[in-house]
């Protein structure tokens, strides 16, 4: 029995990408015979019975996006961890692991048709000390031409104007002040990026309520499909 919802998408040549929506900011991408985790953390989910990972991506080192237990539970002999420098520093015995460090604007082409671009993720209006510029990543995954943007913890920063050129198909954007974006900010970000499908995530994990009705109303007349899979 599946515990979490799944959406499926066709790529340019008819291949299938499956996305499993876990909790908060954790996702699983299944493409071909590969299983790719983004920001798994055992603080929010028990991964002991999950499929092992071919790749584990971490946007940054905060405990709602990263923890060592998830790496232990999900890793196999040939698992690759892709992350920021601050995540690497948080991993003991890292010499025993296959780790790729990505900085903002780095791009890596992995085997079998997957390319990943690291893009800036940071705060500039509130709580800049929690997500300073230049440290954390969002990721744009390209699966056989299908582009999926996972923003990480960010606001509608000036750097997202460059993403308008990327032809994003699917965007995961956080809506969770005071740590990420307000409804107004995420609307601005979506208007700039113009994804075909927008998934709000990292929703309402603080004392400040994320107004999903306001969010739905804001996108009712946009040429962007809003899909709600994560709940506060």
Binned at pLDDT 50, 70 and 90, residue 212 comes out as confident
Report pLDDT for 178.
74
Binned at pLDDT 50, 70 and 90, residue 1 comes out as very low
Length of the chain (residues): 232
Tokens of 159: 């750097």
Q: Assess contact for 26 and 45: CB atoms under 8 A.
A: yes
Q: Which residues sit opposite 127 in a β-bridge? A: none
Q: Where does residue 196 rank: exposed (0-12), middle (13-18), buried (19+ CB within 10 A)? A: middle
Mean pLDDT of 146-164: 94
pLDDT, tens digit, 9 for 90 and up, residues 40-94: 999 878 898 999 999 999 999 998 999 999 999 999 999 999 999 999 999 988 8
Mean pLDDT of 189-215: 82
pLDDT, tens digit, 9 for 90 and up, residues 2-27: 567 899 999 999 999 999 999 889 99
Q: Assess contact for 174 and 26: CB atoms under 8 A.
A: no
Mean pLDDT of 185-212: 83
CA 51 to chain centre: 19
Q: How far is CA 220 from CA 12, 36, 115, 187, 223, in A?
A: 28, 32, 32, 12, 8
CA–CA gap between residue 59 and residue 66 (Å, rounded) = 8
Q: How many CB atoms lie within 10 A of CB 158?
A: 10
* 3-class SS letters over the chain: CCCCCEEEEECCCCCEEEEEECCCCCEEEEECCEEEEECCCCCCCCCCCCCCCCEEECCCCCCCCCCHHHHHHHCCCCCEEEECHHHHHCCCCHHHCEEEECCCCCEEEECCCEEEEEEEECCCCCCCCCCCCCCEEEEEEEECCEEEEECCCCCCCHHHHHHHHHCCCEEEEECCCCCCCCHHHHHHHHHHHCCCEEEEECCCCCCCCCCHHHHHHHHCCCCCEECCCCCC
Q: In what order do the strands lie in the sheet with 6-10?
A: 6-10, 16-21, 27-31, 34-38, 55-57, 80-83, 98-101
Report pLDDT for 58.
98
Binned at pLDDT 50, 70 and 90, residue 231 comes out as low
Report pLDDT for 90.
94
pLDDT, tens digit, 9 for 90 and up, residues 94-118: 888 899 999 999 999 987 779 999 9
Residue ranges and CATH numbers for the domains of the chain are 6-226 (3.60.15.10)
Binned at pLDDT 50, 70 and 90, residue 133 comes out as very high
pLDDT, tens digit, 9 for 90 and up, residues 23-41: 889 999 999 999 999 999 9
Report pLDDT for 204.
63
């Amino acid at each position: 029995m599946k515990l979490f919802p799944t959406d499926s998408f066709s790529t340019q040549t008819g291949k299938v990408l499956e996305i499993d929506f876990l909790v908060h900011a954790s996702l699983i991408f299944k493409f071909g015979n590969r299983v790719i985790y983004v920001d798994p953390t055992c603080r929010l989910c028990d991964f002991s019975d999950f499929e092992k990972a071919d790749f584990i991506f971490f946007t940054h080192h905060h405990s709602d996006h990263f923890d060592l237990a998830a790496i232990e539970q999900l890793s196999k002999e040939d698992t690759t961890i892709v992350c920021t420098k601050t995540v690497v520093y948080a991993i003991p015995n890292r010499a025993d692991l296959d780790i790729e460090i990505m900085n903002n604007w780095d791009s890596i082409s992995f085997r079998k048709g997957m390319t990943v671009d690291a893009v800036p993720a940071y705060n500039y209006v509130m709580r800049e000390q929690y997500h300073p510029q230049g440290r954390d990543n969002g990721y744009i995954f390209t699966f056989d031409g299908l582009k999926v943007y996972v923003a990480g913890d960010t606001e509608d920063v000036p750097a997202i104007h460059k993403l308008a050129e990327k032809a994003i198909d699917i965007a995961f954007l956080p809506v969770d002040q005071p740590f990420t974006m307000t409804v107004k900010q995420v609307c601005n970000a979506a208007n700039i990026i113009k994804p075909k499908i927008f998934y709000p995530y990292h929703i309402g994990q603080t004392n400040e309520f994320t107004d999903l009705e306001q969010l739905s109303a804001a996108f009712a007349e946009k040429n962007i499909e809003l899909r709600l899979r994560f709940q506060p």
